[in-house]
């Protein structure tokens, strides 16, 4: 099996293990990205076969919404279901303190809105996403309003980042589901103090949200060649 095929299979197994946390009658947050799609498809399969009943989904992006509809998962909005029982999502990185970087799929704002109203936020990842310090493997996505976006890039560079505007496949600035831009921030030594950086980003007008999800995960399900590893927050 090629390395890429093996990684995909490990993510699939981990996603299916995370779906075991879902019970009939739950409201479930549906994450964005290749790992989350495995979970969405598995939820749909179990619903069709009767193993899960009366489950409704809250998608974290238009892409997750499309995947859920293809899997025949009934959808609702946060206005209808303001509290979510379980959300299953992927990660670009995670560290030993259950801090996570997300957003390379371009949905970090909706993902964080869903995560903060979720009782049990479960991250699914392959072992290669594990890092000792955030920002050493993945850039940090930062969502910004389009007006004056270059001033946000300059501000991010003043914080020590190499800041690059994300573009789509046609070379145009990438637009999030809310119509914002995303700036990818790379740090030579990683993010030394995630909480301090998060505070500085929150205080800046024009920055909508960042991709650090700090201390929000209740469980991390890791797909490794040796099997499924589950980390639970104490």
Check residue 169 and give its pLDDT. Answer: 94
Q: Looking at the chain, which residues constitute the CATH 3.40.50.1360 domain(s)? A: 3-129+214-225
What is the distance between the alpha carbons of residues 5 and 225, in angstroms, rounded to a whole number? Answer: 12
Check residue 74 and give its pLDDT. Answer: 98
Q: Which residues pair with 4 in a beta bridge?
A: none
Q: Phi and psi at residue 123, in whole multiples of 5°?
A: -100, 135
DSSP state of 174: P
Check residue 4 and give its pLDDT. Answer: 65
What's the CATH fold of domain 3-129+214-225? Rossmann fold (3.40.50)
**65, 93, 111, 219: which one is catalytic?**
111
Q: Phi and psi at residue 17, in whole multiples of 5°?
A: -65, -40
- 111 is a catalytic site residue: yes
What is the distance between the alpha carbons of residues 80 and 65, in angstroms, rounded to a whole number? Answer: 16
Token pair, residue 88, equals 């299953």
Q: Name residues of the chain where pLDDT drops below 50.
A: 1
Q: Looking at the chain, which residues constitute the CATH 3.30.70.260 domain(s)? A: 140-209
Check residue 230 and give its pLDDT. Answer: 94
Check residue 184 and give its pLDDT. Answer: 98
Kindly give, in sequence order, each residue whose CB lies less than 8 Å from that of residue 202, ignoring residues fewer than 6 positions away.
210
Rounded alpha-carbon distances, angstroms, from residue 192 to 53, 110, 159: 45, 26, 11
Q: CA 178: distance to chain centroid?
A: 16
Strands 181-186 and 162-165 turn out to be: antiparallel
140-209 classified as CATH 3.30.70.260: yes
Check residue 2 and give its pLDDT. Answer: 52
pTM of the model: 0.93
């Amino acid at each position: 099996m090629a390395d890429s095929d093996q990684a995909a299979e490990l993510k699939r197994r981990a996603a299916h293990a995370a779906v075991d946390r879902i019970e009939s009658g739950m409201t479930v947050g549906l994450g964005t990205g290749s790992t989350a799609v495995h979970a969405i498809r598995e939820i749909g399969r179990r619903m069709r076969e009767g193993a899960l009943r009366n489950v409704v989904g809250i998608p974290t992006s238009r892409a997750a919404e499309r995947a859920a509809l293809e899997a025949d998962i009934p959808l609702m909005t946060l206005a209808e279901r303001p509290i979510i029982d379980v959300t299953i999502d992927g990660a670009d990185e995670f560290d030993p303190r259950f801090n996570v970087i997300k957003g390379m799929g371009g949905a970090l704002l909706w993902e964080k809105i869903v995560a903060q109203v979720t009782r049990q936020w479960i991250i699914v990842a392959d072992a290669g996403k594990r890092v000792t310090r955030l920002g050493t493997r993945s850039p940090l996505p930062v969502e910004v309003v389009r007006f004056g976006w270059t001033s946000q890039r300059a501000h991010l560079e003043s914080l020590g980042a190499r800041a690059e505007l994300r573009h789509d496949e046609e070379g145009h600035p990438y637009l999030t589901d809310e119509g914002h831009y995303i700036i990818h921030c790379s740090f030579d030594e990683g993010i030394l103090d995630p909480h301090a950086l998060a505070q500085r980003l929150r205080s800046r007008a024009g920055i909508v949200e960042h991709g650090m999800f700090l201390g929000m995960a209740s469980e991390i399900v890791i797909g490794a060649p040796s099997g499924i590893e589950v980390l639970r927050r104490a």
